[in-house]
Amino acid sequence: MSRPVLLLIDLLGVKARWHKGGRRAAQRAFEALEAIVVNAVKHSESNAPVAGLVETDSVALVFESLLTSIPFAQQLFVDTFLAPKSYSDERLWFRGVLVPYRGNLKFRYKARATRLPSTIQVNRLEDSVLNALAAERAGFRGMRLLVGGGTGTGHRTRNSAADKLPGGRTFPRPFLQLRTPQYPKRLARGHYYDFLWMASNDADRINKLNEAMANRLRWASGDPDEFVQAAATQVVFNHWGAFVSSIRSKRGSAVPCSRRTEARG
């Protein structure tokens, strides 16, 4: 039975934008984030979210199931990653999680009763949104998307989700539980996996992503905070490359799908 999931994405580096460029720099990033989400929803077809909330540097989107959320999330991450073509272009870095959603699609609501005057509004977030925030802010770095917290992380569900991706039946399942970098302890208990959004069976797309990774790493060299995110993202790229090479060396260039392709990085 399919269950709703919540995709929470947080825009990284916002504090640095406030410090360096003030309101204008922060607003440019917020507007760029909104534009990316608008474009993704516009072209999502059958994988569109059923509801969502875009608020400054965060995005919360609800999907009918993990199977519909994975293709959407991958396209969102890939399009964002490939967007900058030069050092001066806006570079957005995301960190995201996919967790179970149990709510009424309101995301936030006004508190019914507080000790504050009625002229002061108090808002609360849904429990599912708070769970997602707790996972997203647990301490992992890099442009990564973690899936877990009870969100159908079994072999069968992951395989079905991978089959929804372009070329899903020819490359290894892009879900890995990485050994390095280690997951924060709280997430390790929630059976989280990395969804390797850079996974592809298309040689041209792979080349573009690798080139974008090299460029972003180079462009980030002058900013210690951004370089940390870029370096952590490069590690995940390396995991995917090593995983594919390992599977292909064992089975040949055509990589069939099976449970044995689910592994730890």
Range with lowest mean pLDDT among 35-49, 124-138, 159-173: 159-173
- pLDDT, residue 168, reads 53
Report helix, strand or coil for 55.
strand
User: Please, are residues 84 and 216 in contact by the beta-carbon 8 Å criterion?
Assistant: yes
209 backbone dihedrals φ, ψ, rounded to 5°: -65, -45
Residue 232: pLDDT band (50, 70, 90) is very high
**What share of the chain has pLDDT > 70, as a percent?**
85
Domain ranges of the chain: 5-251+259-264
- The span from the CA of 90 to the CA of 83, in Å, is 8
Let me know: does 148 contact 101? Beta carbons within 8 Å.
no
In this prediction the pTM is: 0.87
Domain 5-251+259-264 in CATH 3.30.470.10? The answer is: no
pLDDT of 28 reads 92
Q: For the chain, what is the mean pLDDT?
A: 85
- What is the gyration radius of the CA atoms in the chain, in angstroms? 19
Q: H or E stretch including 225?
A: helix 224-251
Q: pLDDT tens for residues 177-222?
A: 888 888 888 887 768 899 999 998 888 999 999 999 999 999 999 9
